[in-house]
Amino acid sequence: MTSLETYFKNSQPLDQYIEAMTENKENLLTIYNSFSLPEEDNRIEKIKSLNYSKVLVITEDWCGDAMMNVPILKHISETLNLEVRVFHRDENTDLIDQYLTNGTARSIPIFVFLNDAYEQQTVWGPRARQVQHFVDEARSNVPAKDDPTFEDKSAEAHTIMMNRYKTDSQLWKYVYDSILDKLIIK
């Protein structure tokens, strides 16, 4: 099995990934430029004393959750001086298969926080708990896949989610708090 160090070293630096994005780039950058970390958050100083130095992000640029979560992570990583690299999930599913959501889904993004020795310290993703509740609510009217209205209802739910992801600063705060809490709790 390939080591996390090998995956990390063979992945794209975050800024290169963002520059090369072909989908959701503008929205990701808008969220990044619209979000700012709270001025005083005692969790930041506590996390700085912990053993984090790197983040391996498993994602794809078409992913709406990544569009919202990655810019929040970028702010956090800049504040904590963490090196962030991006691994494209669809290029090699061996890595994501180690981080399946609910044991079955290759959900993204996944943030693998590492120490200097490339050892996994904690994992976050794909969503903050409150964001998951919103997604569940948005999808609550989507029928089973064999229903003739499935495609339309699914597209409608996706549009609702994407619009909120792009504009709702409260969702962004939930992501921020969720990531920081995970870093403290491990």
Domain ranges of the chain: 4-127+171-184
CA dist., res. 14 & res. 70, Å (int): 9
CB 54 within 8 A of CB 25: no
Query: Digits of tens for pLDDT over the chain (186 positions)?
Result: 679 999 999 999 999 999 999 999 999 999 999 999 998 899 999 999 998 999 999 999 999 999 999 999 999 999 999 999 999 999 989 999 999 998 889 999 999 999 999 999 999 999 999 999 999 999 999 999 999 999 999 999 999 999 999 999 999 999 999 999 999 987
pTM of the model: 0.94
Task: Give 110's strand partners.
Answer: 58
Distance (Å, whole) CA 126 – CA 132: 9
Q: What is the CATH number of domain 4-127+171-184?
A: 3.40.30.10
